[in-house]
Chains A and B, each alone.
Chain A
Amino acid sequence: MGVFGIFYSKNIISVFVSYQFIIISAVINFLCFSQFIYQRSLQGGIFIIFGIASIYFLMFCTIYYIYLKLDSLDKEMLCREFRLFKITRSDWWGEDNI
């Protein structure tokens, strides 16, 4: 679902929700394996705390820092026409006019 969402959605918020799907699935993996297979939740738990905290910190900084200083036109583009993996001619060759 996460990977599908990343490719399909046109809104940056949807892309981030898709990112969260992948994170949540990883968290479920950690919790399940440490709790039910290895009968101790400590290692998985520590990893989750570090992992989640750092990923959210990274995502928050990446978006918030830039988003605050964007023009209103660019902000609207992020909410309507944003695609993480665009496959247009200009995106393949990097050819675009400044």
Chain B
Amino acid sequence: MDFIACINEKIYPLQSIIALSGTIFISSFFVISKSKAIKKFLIILASISFILAFYLNIYSFISMGDFSNFLTLFETVQMIEVSIILFSALNLLFFISIYKVDSNHFIRILILFLFSTVCAVFVVVARNFLLIFTSLTIFILAIFQLVTALNLKANKVRSYILEYFLRPTLTVILFFFGFSLFYGASDFKDFGQVLQLEYISNPLIVLGLIIFGIAIYLYFFLFPFQGPYMKLIRRGEFSSNAIIWFLYFPVGIFIFMKLDNLYSFFIEKNSIYMSIFFIVITFICIFSSSIGAFKTKSIRRIISFLFLFFISIFILNISMFSTGIISKSLVDWFNIANVLLILFSFIPICSIFSIVEKDTGSDSINNIRGVGRRNIYIGINLVIIFLSWSGFAYHIEPFINYFSGSNLLKMRAGNIILLIAVVIAFLFLMVNIFRIIVQFFRKPIGGVVEKIIFPRFFYIYITFFTLVIIVIAILGLLEVLNIDIGIINFKITQVYF
């Protein structure tokens, strides 16, 4: 046991990566196999390794605490981020297994997927520029190959994949340029060290930060760069879309959170111009994504636009911080809560609509008309999941605290404009939700709609997400209403890292 404990101590904090690497090693012996039994064995092995990695990640952090060296940093935030990536990877394994288990390339796809997850974990724990850059590059490469491999049968998608992945390539190049500027200005290779610099307002650092900002904006395909993303999602297989939604985007969010401290330092210093800039960007992103979702009739596009809407919420959090409505620790908590909200709502929604689309043959919103009447259980689950987005209203509470604490003369116009943006965004979100729900339960045009047969495992899967959402909603409501039932010893609406 001492020997195992010694190894465990040596490889900390990379236990999760070791667990996944073991599965990659075992899978590599079966690459050319087409046997169904081996495929099933590898799916089970990969699932176990994900669960083991998830457990080891949390357990070792609780037993050993924070860790940092020249290359890596592993604190509470990193532990939560790695857990989120492993959780979403486990769900993605479910998507890939359902859609691609009959493919001849399934085991290769599985290895690529495990490798991209390892790269994603490396991106999260990296602190040195060299490791961040290298892992990000290899991660994008792995995701590109994975998406291409998942769309091998769809000939028309290839040029759209090319168009899509040229953007993250540009992001990587801009990161390289930004690192060169940071290195020149500070001789440091770590964002944390740059923050402690004496001459931090150096123009080279400011330029580097602007370049990082542009790079991340391009990475997320926010307005007006959303074209290639929409086109790929519209044409791609559902499994490849899920990879983009639940692996590509969360990693971008975590890179953005690495830069959070630097941005917040500059925001605190130059509040007015930065606030105006962020408020404008927030307005543009939120409105374009909401109107885009409202304008289209394709369900894939609606989900894609709503995804961009939730990505825009990260910019909203930054602008709320820039106008002094929320504190830095609350920004971190809002960001993590937003990632969790995205995962827990979009994963079941995507799985429901993928099966509905497979059954009806088209992704038009008119096709789902009446589906909820015949599949009542799935319909109710979908309504609960959609209504969980109304938790976005919690963004209004800091405004109420702010406005009730200050008199009318001291209120700044920026804060009022931001409040209007939040309220309108919330209204648009509600309109988009009710549009889908009403269509789901509306009377079908041609009389009776046939019942869609969902796999049995699917009911358990959806129920799990619904139950998690209900539990979180009840706990959150009790906290908002100040009722202490003493089940958990921390406030889920205010967690500080």
A66's contact among B148, B174, B177, B235, by CB below 8 Å, is which? B148
| Contacts A19-B173, A46-B130; A85 near B225 (Cβ below 8 A) | yes
Question: Once bound together, how far apart are the Cα atoms of A91 and B173, in whole Å?
Answer: 24
B222 to chain A, nearest CB (A): 12
State A47–B180 Cα separation when bound (angstroms).
Answer: 9
CB-based contact B170/A6 at 8 Å = yes
Which residues of chain A have C-beta atoms less than 8 A from B201's C-beta?
none
Return the contact of A29 from the options B130, B144, B184, B292 (Cβ within 8 A): B184
- Whether A62 pairs with B165 at a CB distance below 8 angstroms is yes
CB distance from A97 to the nearest CB of B (A): 10
- Given A66-B158, A66-B162, A94-B304, A61-B231 contact (CB < 8 Å): no
- Total A-B Cβ pairs within 8 A: 137
Shortest C-beta distance, A98 to chain B (Å), equals 7
Band of interface residues on B: 35 or more
Q: Is B388 an interface residue (CB 8 A)?
A: no
Of the stretches B60-68, B134-142, B425-433, the one at the interface is: B134-142
Q: What does DSSP make chain A's interface, helix, strand, loop or mixed? A: helix
Is B187 engaged at the interface, CB distance under 8 Å to the other chain?
yes
What 0/1 readout, one digit per residue, does chain B (125-162) give for beta carbons within 8 Å of chain A? 00001100110011011001100100000011011011
CA separation between A61 and B146, bound complex, in Å?
Answer: 12
List A contacts of B141 (CB < 8 A): 57-58, 61-62
Closest to A71 in B: B155
Contact flags (1/0) for B175-200 with A, using CB distance below 8 Å? 01101110110010100000000000
Contact of A22 with B296 in the complex, beta carbons under 8 Å? no
Asked if B172 and A58 sit within 8 Å, CB to CB, the answer is yes
Partner among A37, A61, A87, A90 whose Cβ is within 8 Å of the Cβ of B224: A87
Interface 1/0 per residue, B213-231 and A, CB below 8 Å:
0000000000111110111
Residue of B nearest to A31 (CB): B180
Chain A residues contacting B180 (CB-CB under 8 Å) are 25-27, 29-30, 33
Chain B residue at minimal CB-CB distance from A66: B162
Q: What are the interface flags for A50-75 relative to B under an 8 Å C-beta threshold, 1 for contact and 0 otherwise?
A: 11001101110111011101110010
In angstroms, how far is the closest chain B Cβ from the Cβ of A24? 10
Q: How far is the CB of A93 from chain B (nearest CB, A)?
A: 6
Q: Are A25 and B177 in contact (CB under 8 A)?
A: yes
CA distance A32 to B180 in the complex (A): 10
- In the bound assembly, the distance between CA atoms of A47 and B295 in angstroms comes to 46
Residue of B nearest to A47 (CB): B130
Q: With a CB–CB cut-off of 8 A, which chain B residues contact A43?
A: 183, 189
Q: A29-B184, A47-B179, A57-B141 are in contact. Are A93 and B169 (CB under 8 A)?
A: no
Beyond the given pairs A26-B173, A54-B134, 15 more chain A to chain B contacts, judged by CB atoms under 8 angstroms and listed by A's residue number, are: A6-B170, A22-B174, A25-B180, A26-B176, A29-B180, A29-B184, A51-B134, A51-B176, A55-B173, A58-B137, A61-B145, A62-B144, A63-B162, A69-B158, A94-B296
- A and B contact pairs by CB, cutoff 8 A, 6 listed: A29-B183, A30-B184, A43-B189, A55-B176, A58-B144, A94-B296
